[in-house]
Amino acid sequence: MAAVPDLPLAAAPTAPLSPAPPACEEPVPAGDLDEVTEAVLGHVARISAFPVDRLRADQPLIDELGFDSLMLTDLFTSLKRQWPRWRFDESAADRPTAGRIAALIATGSADAADAAVPVQRDGHDGAAHAEDAHGDGAPPQAPAAPAAAPLPEEHTRIECFPEVAAHGERIATFDRTGLRNPYFLVHEGGMTDTTVIDGRELLSFSGYNYLGMATHPQVNEAAKRAIDACGTSASASRLLSGSRPLHLELEAELADLLGCEAAVTLANGHATNVTVIGHLVGPGDLVIHDSLAHDSILQGCKLSGATRRPFPHNDAAALDAVLGQVRHQYRRVLVVIEGVYSMDGDIADLPALIEVKHRHGALLMIDEAHSIGTIGATGRGVGEHFGIDRPAVDLWSGTLSKALASCGGYVAGRREVVEYLRYTVPGFVYSAGMTPADTAASLTALRLLRAEPQRVARLAENAALFVRLARAAGVDIGDSHDTPVVPCIVGDSLKTLRLAEALFQRGISVNPILYPAVPEEMARLRFFITADHTPEQIRDAVAALEQELGRLAAADAGDPADAGEAPDPADAPDPADAARAA
């Protein structure tokens, strides 16, 4: 695969690097190789959760020990702290092993010697030397302090941080490729099966208004009434003066929907996972999460101070094996998964994961951001999908911004646990409550979900139609099944950008997901299917996708006839006409 520019989504994590020593210095060995290897293995054990006596110096950290980019960053940062003069070589991150890294440090090939520690002299010896030097017993004059070298701007100005400069370079990539920046496009109204950008209506697969509730007249009217009754803000923490009757109604009905004893809502979905995970576990604990877990889960792990370890995606047997080796080392072990995975559209193997959880005395938390309202016969999520006894899962979390039509998050479980969180979890206690409008919108959407289960059925039919047509067209949709999240895996960030632009010109809005948000070979478009899409719209979209993928393939093969110009946007089907035709 040809190399592609580093295209923007999020900066790839990198270990902070100390300034390199002057080039004229000769590399100084850091010490005995065996001692350095032992120290490196100690860091690997701490980060990976494997006992150090089960590690080998030749084990690939990524392939065998499950290291991801954040774990490698943690490792290299720790090594830099122990050996400050180690000049990090990016080749160390290419299929690294503890032995290879230790060799780079120990041999001095990366100038990795420990920083010199000043020798403390005995005070009497110092005085004697001074008397000998001056001959009159007078204390020596302190040498003048050398003039401090000016600090580099990358340490004192945010705009000069290397990562800020690198981000600017990634954004500039769009100008060099001649492609439109696909991010921060302004959508000029509500987003359902269609959207409006720059005054032009497009068929939309770029928003997760799965059930059409975010634009439903009853939901909108409820939000307006809440503003009239309670204003635009809760104006305080819920713990103090920020609670409103709407909050209590929403929490009671969420708990009932989820089959739990109680629930609490927070003002932001991402922050819900961050603050709950960060609050419940800490040093001495282990958080082990699916390798495709959402950023909010990773940030919660980082905040907690617990050891973090991913397990292979949706692989209960691999999770079982890891816990069999390491469970005894930790006080608490929290397993965190998603109900529906937001990039791949597959469903967690919840029954098998619950068995593993019980076998090892672990806790289980499920993020239902993309599964509540979308799977299960009546939209009650992955628990309903599998017929799970709800207390078998310790924490059910999710967001209110997708099927439930507003903005916020929730966590549900046993009453004692939820009450503890209401009084102690920082993201709830030290934040204003959900706005009255958001609360009323989600409450009304939840009630519509119960009153109109046909919305869930229609969503399932639309998703199944898209998947069936895409597979028949030879589109690589990965493992997506039975969910409204369907990727089109292209495997090249630049091609993915070109595909998104070609579809945009044909009147279809769909988001590109690029490296480093996903590995380069997994760069993709991500289609969100909704209950409001019509079968005709779905057929038109898949047909256009098949044609544009064919043009990309022809361009790669050097066939100018098949890789001709994309159709004029004026010739694209009118989304409104497609809806009427269906």
For the annotated catalytic residues, the residue numbers are: 342, 370, 402
Cα separation, 226 vs 246, in Å, equals 9
Answer whether 281's CB lies under 8 Å from 306's CB: yes
Answer whether 440's CB lies under 8 Å from 225's CB: yes
* 155 burial type by CB count under 10 A (0-12 exposed, 13-18 middle, 19+ buried): exposed
- Helix residue ranges per DSSP H, 113-236: 123-134, 153-156, 162-177, 217-230
Cα separation, 582 vs 329, in Å, equals 59
> To 10 degrees, what angle do helices 69-82 and 33-48 make?
140
The strands making up 409-413's β-sheet, listed across from edge to edge, are: 262-266, 409-413, 395-399, 363-367, 333-338, 286-290, 307-311
Q: Token pair for residue 33?
A: 């190789």
Rounded to the nearest 5 degrees, what angle is found at the Cα of 488, between the Cα atoms of 486 and 489?
125
The strands making up 511-513's β-sheet, listed across from edge to edge, are: 485-489, 524-528, 511-513
Answer whether 427's CB lies under 8 Å from 296's CB: no
Residues 6+ apart with CB under 8 A from 412: 254, 255, 258, 260, 262, 263, 264, 395, 396, 397, 418
Q: How far is CA 456 from CA 204, 213, 251, 384, 518, in A?
A: 19, 12, 22, 13, 29
Q: How far is CA 231 from CA 149, 241, 247, in A?
A: 55, 14, 14
